[in-house]
């Protein structure tokens, strides 16, 4: 075979090789674009729509257990108003949480956790937030306890089926109080009422026990993990029926 005869074959082989190279490059480019788009969408969802947290303490038992994973709707209260009974995640108003010093972590592990938190797949900042139930909205008069040991909101006694109380105790709070919730603030309490450092126990902090609405990250609406505990979180509208500030 002469060199002239082999030239077209080499040309075709080179063209096929170039096509395969371009196809591979396009495939890699598409994968990178899809990956970046997924990250951008995930960050957007975490920033504006929903966010994941885990439960670090037992203050909301039995509604929430330690290490439960929850999803928080961040449209509340940005676009959707808060309601009595909502379970909300909020940042520390100041002095509610003890000083938390994170232990040193491997730089690679820290970077991965940071990235997963950024896109909403991890919740490394859960220890910097609190989760409680909204008992009082702005303008509400919240008192405890009446003759039956109940909380009253605007003179309406609450029957609270979500509470965890010590055996043999019916009084829903070991501490009496009588407060009027300021504008743009909340009065919040844990469901595990005798083991929750909530509004009652933080009246000597700068916020006087109230949570500024601007500190609210969102409303927890579902338990996602463990699978055996998957459930929607109720805000118990029947409990607060008639308690709206008049």
Do 245 and 114 contact (CB within 8 A), yes or no? no
Residue with tokens 């409990």: 239
The residue among 195 and 29 whose pLDDT is bigger is 195
CA–CA distance, 70 with 61 (Å, rounded to integer): 14
Distance (Å, rounded) from C-alpha 190 to C-alpha 192? 5
**pLDDT number for residue 119:** 47
* Best CA proximity match to 181, nearest among 126, 237, 130, 136: 136
| pLDDT digits 0-9 by tens, 175-231 | 999 999 999 999 999 999 999 999 999 999 999 999 999 999 999 999 999 999 999
Q: What is the mean pLDDT of residues 61-75?
A: 95
Q: Specify the residue for token string 């929607």.
A: 232
Residue 85 in tokens: 């009974």
Write out the two tokens for 146. 């009446």
Q: What is the mean pLDDT of the chain?
A: 84
Q: 3-state secondary structure string, 11-24?
A: HHHHHHHHHHHHHH
Reply yes or no on whether the pLDDT at 245 is more than 90.
no
> Given 46, 52, 126, 132, which residue is catalytic?
132
Terminus-to-terminus CA distance in the chain, angstroms?
101
Beta-sheet pairing, 156-157 with 87-91: unpaired
Q: Is residue 195 among the annotated active site residues?
A: no
185 annotated active-site: no
What are the backbone angles phi and psi of residue 151, rounded to the nearest 5°?
A: -80, 145
> Are 234 and 86 contacting, i.e. CB atoms less than 8 angstroms apart?
no
Select, from the ranges 4-18, 112-126, 177-191, the one with the highest average predicted confidence (pLDDT).
177-191
CATH class for the region spanning 51-232: mainly beta
| Among 59, 126, 185, 207, the one annotated catalytic | 59
Task: Please answer whether residues 37 and 45 qualify as being in contact, where contact means their C-beta atoms are separated by less than 8 angstroms.
Answer: no
């Amino acid at each position: 075979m002469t060199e002239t005869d082999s030239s077209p074959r080499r040309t075709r082989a080179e063209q096929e090789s170039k096509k395969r190279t371009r196809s591979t490059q396009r495939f890699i480019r598409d994968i990178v674009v899809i990956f970046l788009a997924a990250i951008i969408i995930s960050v957007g969802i975490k920033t504006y729509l929903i966010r994941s947290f885990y439960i670090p303490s037992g203050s909301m038992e039995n509604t929430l257990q330690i290490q439960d994973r929850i999803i928080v709707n961040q449209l509340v209260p940005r676009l959707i108003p808060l309601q009595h009974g909502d379970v909300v995640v909020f940042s520390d108003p100041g002095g509610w949480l003890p000083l938390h010093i994170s232990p040193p972590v491997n730089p690679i592990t820290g970077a991965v956790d940071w990235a997963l938190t950024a896109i909403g797949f991890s919740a490394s900042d859960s220890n910097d937030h609190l989760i409680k139930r909204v008992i009082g909205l702005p303008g509400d008069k919240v008192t405890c306890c009446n003759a039956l040991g109940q909380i009253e909101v605007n003179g309406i006694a609450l029957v609270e089926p979500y509470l965890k109380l010590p055996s043999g105790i019916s009084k829903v709070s070991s501490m009496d109080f009588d407060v009027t919730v300021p504008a743009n603030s909340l009065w919040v309490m844990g469901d595990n009422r005798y083991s929750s450092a909530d509004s009652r126990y933080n009246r000597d902090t700068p916020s006087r026990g109230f949570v500024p609405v601007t500190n609210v990250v969102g409303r927890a609406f579902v338990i996602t993990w463990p699978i055996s505990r998957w459930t929607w979180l109720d805000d118990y509208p029947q409990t607060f029926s008639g308690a709206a500030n008049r």
